[in-house]
Chain A
Amino acid sequence: MEEPRIGVYICWCGTNIAKMVDVEAVSAEVGKLPHVVLAKNYKYMCSDPGQELIVKDIHGHQLNRVVVAACSPRIHELTFRKAVEKAGINPYLFEMANIREQDSWVHTDRTEATSKAIDLVVAAIRRVQFHEPLQKRSVNVDPATLIIGGGISGMVAALEIANAGKKVYLIEKTGRLGGHVIKFDLTFPHLSSARQMIRPILQRVENHPNIDVFLNTEIRDVTGYIGNFKTTIRINETESTELRFGNIIAAVGLKPFDPSKIEEYGYGKFPDVITSMEFEEMLGTGQVLTKYGKEPRNIAIIHCVGSRNKKYHEYCSRTCCMVALKFVHQIRASLPSANIFEIYADMRAYGKGHEEFYALTTHKQIIFLMYDQQERLPVISQADRNDNCNMVIRMNEKLSGESIEVPVDMVILMVNMEAHENVKEVVHAIGVSLCGNQFFIEKHPKLDPVATTTGGVYIVGTCQGPKDIPDSVSQARAAAARILATIATGSVAVEVTTASTNEKLCCGCQTCVKVCPYSAISYNEEKRSSEVNEVLCKGCGTCGSACPAGAITSKHFTDRQILAEIEGIMSMSFKGV
């Protein structure tokens, strides 16, 4: 092995790291270590000048190994691998130390955080000395795409890909396309018809020669990897056709919150307490009527039902405020003299045209009443017989500071958007993770909100988090563009950190064959040795730790590399007594 010549770079990440970690001290300390040719610190290593610095040093100082201490490798490992590759070094002769997410952001003592950073960088320096160059492998990309979910996001993505001449399999769990949007009457803020908008999309999807629509269909299991997935779809709960595809889009959407969980609102008990989704359907019939067929004189719209409350969901559903204002326009159009009460917690009008829409709505002779979401929810009860109304809402009006009673004949609950409970099946099938609110986790919250950490799997629409129609559509088109780009390239780089066996050391016990979850290892009777099929291997390393003979190498996570990392961590300040 040639002598390691290591370049070490400590990132400030602006003040994110530099505020808590003495980057100067770290680079000075690790600069003294054997094989470290240079140790520098720089404001933003991931920026173009930061990457350029590495490239220049590799040329100028004949570096053959690089360590960057910065954010989590889950964020920028690929960025830096590309940078070292640009300078002619194998991208795997690089290692990253996580001194932001797992150091500067979680500790408050600068001395402790600095010594932790030193340990992590030393560990990376020790480890990188044992890195071996790995050769990139690429596989052909099957030009078909599987889209799970036939709502607006799934359909728009399907059209985008199909219009580019590529095959799409669009599977929908229910018996019809259109998702939630097809149930809406008007959209905000332009009050244009949702149906007129979605019907042509639906027709184009149904009639497109490149789109195969499967209704009442579910997936259980997807096998393969980016470019080459396959699954057997189940139509009407019976096994059906096998599909092959190169990329996947999950567009499984969400579902409205069930307000019967909130006792105060009496949903299910009072027939005229209805959800925003139920009111949409009512608007579709063209009439606003109570359960007894009367025109309501007093209508209340309660915001944040199940949202922004730790008891239910802490997050904001983003769309309900505007939908509530949209309802005002629709109610006013059919009931010009009704009293309308907007009972809100905070009015959120963040989007394009939303604030203007809010201002416009305030001219519709409505009464805005504010309640404190964190303190006490409004309580709905039956009105007395003598009252001139159906129900009474008792609430603390926050702005006036008074306890008031609001007479109502109909209450519309603006229900939160929450994840489907059965989403876990899809999650397991396609190998993505869920956040605490059960939404799909994107690869990067800012820079890559449509991809996931599983290659070839994209997430669009509300399964990634509550969003309105334009945001869902943008995400759908973005995912389609990403997929079309890989299809156009024709091939895609795949994981090379797989396992490999050493025939000379293999004792033939076949433990590895049994532990491999992907059936990627088989036993070659002739050679009396196990063999790894690198296309099937996903690099989990389970076989490597099971092998009693030490005959299996988990590439890039070898015993020697990890042991060196442990030694490095324990070698400096991080010692026992």
Chain B
Amino acid sequence: MNLLEVQHLKKYYATHKAVDDISFNIAQGSIFGLLGPNGAGKTTLLRMITGIFHPDSGDILLNGKPFDPMMDLQYIGYMPEERGLYKKMMVGEQVLYLAQLKGLDKKTAQAKIKYWFDKFELHSWANKKVDELSKGMQQKVQFISTILHEPKLLILDEPFSGLDPINSNLIKQEIFHLSEKGTTIIFSTHRMEQVEEICDHIMLVNKGHKILDGSVKQIRQDFKQGLFRIGVGVIPNPAQMATWHFTIVKVEDHAYVLKRNPDSTTNDILLHFINQEIPVTYFEEILPSINEVFISQVQRTETLAAPQPA
């Protein structure tokens, strides 16, 4: 069941196409990574999903029904990349205010605020003005105000920027926790290690176009290049390594990175080592990191987009 379906979404500005015909689906309860270099159109895309911008064309379906900002905004929680809070407002009042604007009644909101402030150890700060808080604290306040109304769709734009590892981890655990409880999460970032760790599904955009989307596992499989790492107990002499089954990409300490010949199998490689009586300590496939896929795909589309010499 898809919580969100986006079909042929377009948003053009006078000078450029910010989002040019992007379609994707997000399954209920999944964590969806939206990746792309700066200026790829991520923020515009998110702003359309949050009802801030109207698309020029295309459809957004939430729970199978057309997205209606009047009705559906309360089901969405959005934490923009550029954090914003009223600086002169008290922390507690501010969170209450934002929660009430999302349709929570005062009592429910206050109970939830107590729960989250306990959890994030913010109670002593509730009556302080926002600008008296450290940046990391403000970030936590912002996060709480985004999730307090228990959105069905949570949109986080760079949620970890500016957080120390401890608070990063705290928020990360909350993201997992919310996901387990069924919240669908869109996670926009360009920090790839977090994507692999957190996301089930990713979509890569550049210059307003979708470059690829799929599950993290699937994408790494799709872009693997037949690389393997083999550990050896004894360092063989170079003559022993000569075979047409693979080429050596890199020599490491008691290990080799090999590129398999497309016509050979992994067993051919292992057989070669066995025949040469080289003791094998381990053998593993090297899958590309999302970071590598990201860089290679962005570069590929850039060169495709560049005018070809005649």
> Are the chains A and B members of one assembly?
no
